[in-house]
Amino acid sequence: LLEQAPRLPGKPRHKTREVRIGSVVIGGNHPIAVQSMTTTDTHDVEATVQQIQALEAAGCELVRVTVPKPEDAHALTRIRERIGIPLICDIHFDYKMALAALDHPIDKIRINPGNIGGPERFRQVVRKAKSRGIPMRIGVNAGSLERDLCEKYGFPCPPAMVESALRYIEMAEEEGYHDIVVSLKSSDVLVAVEAYRLYAQLADYPTHIGITEAGKPPYAVTKSAAGLAPLLLDGIGDTIRVSLLGDPVPEIAAAFDILQATQRRVRRPELIACPTCGRLAIDLEKIVAELEKRLQGKRLPVKISVLGCVVNGPGEAREADIGIAAGNGKGMIFRNGEIIRRVEEAEIVDALMEEIARWEQENQHR
């Protein structure tokens, strides 16, 4: 068994079609895009634009707004003009709101097939989206699954959710429409993960993944990570949202952290630091805090290991691109498994930063 096991971890990504959402393409080999949703009244253009700009500044790549009333639809063009990322409209219950939103220069529409008023209304929205060249997310939600599927399966289980998605995909395809993204959300991590896994065996439209109604941080971040990580490690997911109660801006950092930890989108240095224990030989917390500060904003996929003593230190430090293992107020600096320098504790951060700059130069075109 050990002989047959893969030496390098990481499954390939689920092969999905490419779908263009304004300036961002998802699916295929495109980076997994991070998205969020505003909490303002969409018709309050000023507040909505302000929140979207705050999300953009945090790194958000796609933004969704709700469109429950005609005045919200009327505001869409004015919002779109003032933001730099693609605008997605989220529609529940009233297909007329979907048709109204599609009169504006939006970049994608999200429909919940379970509550849009039946197949004929769904088809009308599809036909208009097709004629306007706008993609659509078929956003199945366990909490609002069609009644016949709940009756057939007994409860909104993963197969029921996937059947719902496939049913609406088929209708869209019958209309000659293929600009589709799919989500299968549940507030139950196990249900969501199994639904996406099942879907990935049956269809190839890109997926928007997330755990809905995750609640309040910090538990909501942990719960989202618990659901998103198995999917990302399986290669599933083309765009991601971490749903947090309240201000959406922290959703962005949480999403990028999950992508970083699962190595699906590494955009910054990975800082590996030991938890410290009674063997600690240097002031590790101070060193890590200083390093974090000096690495802020650096877009380098370098792995840096900072370990507080020589027991596990050298072994772990060898696994990283650059590492340090401390002992008796000194630090041994490693590069690719070789000790290259020994420095005093006070010089550790400077020495690491010098090595990181050297690594950056050598790996500029990586």
Report whether 274 belongs to an annotated binding site: yes
CA distance 176 to 205: 14
Copy the structure tokens of residue 45: 């253009």
Q: Which residue has the tokens 């999200």?
A: 110
On whether the CB atoms of residues 169 and 205 are closer than 8 A, the answer is: yes
State in angstroms the smallest separation of the CB of 279 from ligand SF4: 4
Binding residue (CB under 6 A) for ligand SF4 from 153, 197, 276, 339: 276
DSSP state of 183: E
Burial of 290 (0-12, 13-18, 19+ CB in 10 A): middle
In angstroms, what is the minimal distance from the CB of 328 to ligand SF4? Answer: 13
By beta-carbon proximity to ligand SF4, the closer residue of 206 and 314 is 314
Q: How far is the CB of 281 from ligand SF4 (least distance, A)?
A: 7
| Cβ count near 336 (within 10 Å) | 12
Q: Residue 135's closest CA among 239, 220, 232, 1?
A: 239
Candidates 40, 53, 77, 312; binder of ligand SF4 (CB under 6 A) is 312
If one asks whether residue 274 binds ligand SF4 (CB under 6 A), the answer comes out as yes
Q: Does 277 bind ligand SF4 (CB under 6 A)?
A: yes
Question: Per CB under 6 A, does 340 bind ligand SF4?
Answer: no
Question: Given candidates 150, 226, 266, 311, which one binds ligand SF4 under the rule CB under 6 A?
Answer: 311
Shortest spacing between CB 329 and ligand SF4, in angstroms: 14
Tokens of 192: 């969501």
In order of 109, 199, 232, 300, 343, the CA distances from 265 in angstroms are: 25, 23, 10, 12, 33
Q: Which of 230, 308, 314, 331 binds ligand SF4 (CB under 6 A)?
A: 308
Under the binding rule (CB under 6 A), the answer on residue 285 touching ligand SF4 is: no
Nearer to ligand SF4, 195 or 274 (CB): 274
The Cα–Cα gap between 249 and 156 comes to 31
Q: Does 56 count as an annotated binding residue?
A: no
Q: Which stretch binds ligand SF4 (CB under 6 A): 20-28, 57-65, 99-107, 270-278?
A: 270-278
Candidate segments 134-142, 168-176, 203-211, 311-319, binder of ligand SF4 by CB under 6 A: 311-319
**Residue 157 annotated as binding site:** no
> Does the protein bind ligand SF4 through residue 288 (CB under 6 A)?
no
Beta bridge partners of 324: 306, 333
**Span from 95-103, 106-114, 297-305, 306-314 in contact with ligand SF4 (CB under 6 A):** 306-314
355 is in an annotated binding site: no
Q: Which of 237, 240, 267 is nearest to 251 (CA)?
A: 240
Tokens of 336: 């690719």
Nearest one of 240, 224, 234, 114 to 181, comparing CA atoms: 240
Phi, psi of 137 (to 5 degrees): -95, 125
Q: Is 27 in the site for ligand SF4 (CB under 6 A)?
A: no
Burial label, 48 (beta-carbon count in 10 A; 0-12, 13-18, 19+): buried
Count interface residues toward ligand SF4 (CB under 6 A). 12
Query: Which residues fall in the annotated binding site?
Result: 274, 277, 309, 316
Query: Which residues fall in the annotated binding site for [4Fe-4S] cluster?
Result: 274, 277, 309, 316
Q: Which residues bind ligand SF4 (CB under 6 A)?
A: 274-277, 279-280, 307-309, 311-313
